[in-house]
Amino acid sequence: MTAARGERGRAPAGPRRPTADDGVLVVDKPAGWTSHDVVARVRRLASTRKVGHAGTLDPMATGVLVIGVGRATRLLTYVTGADKDYAATVRLGVTTTTDDAEGEVVARADAAHVTRADLDVQVAALTGDLLQVPSSVSAIKVDGRRAYALVRAGEEVELAARPVHVARFAVRDVRAAQDDGAAVLDVDVEVTCSSGTYVRALARDLGTVLGVGGHLTALRRTRVGGFGLEQARTLDELAATPEDVAVTVLPLADAARAVLPARELTEAEARALSYGQGVDPADEHAGPIAALAPDGTLVAIVERRGPHMRPTVVFAPA
């Protein structure tokens, strides 16, 4: 059973577990935990403070949370920018302050008249390149403060629309339900979108264009870049690792391949990059590219600067 809320991030007293290797953990985040809670727990399981995550999941959400351990924290910026898959449930007919089930209800409307054809038309309109206004309780900073903190402090927050891309917004199932006496629809959807897209905002906007309001009642992230649920482990599974064994991570090179194109280096190129020097480009790709030594280890992340590919992050310094 997952640790109680007050115990998050605390490992049982006992011998210190061996420090995990540098690499990535794909965690199946449980509901009710913040991303910071998961990082705190992994710090203890991996026996290192050098742990970070790539892309916040709301406490209500579950699913893929990519965690970097050791030097892999330097890879996280590339993971954060990867596209993502979600499975979600939208409740049409109820509007909340947070665009999800954790907010207060501000309006209800009868949604019984909404047809599958109506849904298909409006979901299609919310696919492609969009200008999306994020939820006011997002983690976006306004004058140096998180938007959600401002809202909780009672301040009005208006966020500017920003470009996002929704590659897929598909309706999988529609069910009639009741919410405090109102006829609502629960719509199961799947979404593939760019980094920075808010599925809560899609739920809100779908309800708005249908004239009945809407909010998110369930959200599960199923993929981030090349990391999927099939690779994910629960915190309970990680905690079941014997105390005298280091938690197993995905090696740096495999993690880099999951989010970036890769280039195989010669020994001379690997040595040059390890010294921070540039190498000739192998093709027209400007990067970022994962540069791998002949033995398969990750040497650096490189990008084109002028006539050469130069390291932006070096993982195997000379």
Catalytic positions are 58
Residue holding tokens 């540069």?
291
First and final C-alpha spacing in the chain: 45
> Residue 239: which H helix or E strand, with range?
helix 235-239
CB 119 within 8 A of CB 175: no
Name every residue whose Cβ is closer than 8 Å to that of residue 229 and which is 6 or more positions away in sequence. Answer: 28, 63, 64, 222, 223
Report which residue type is found at 231. Answer: Q
In whole angstroms, give the CA distance from residue 236 to residue 137: 30
Residue holding tokens 């399981």?
45
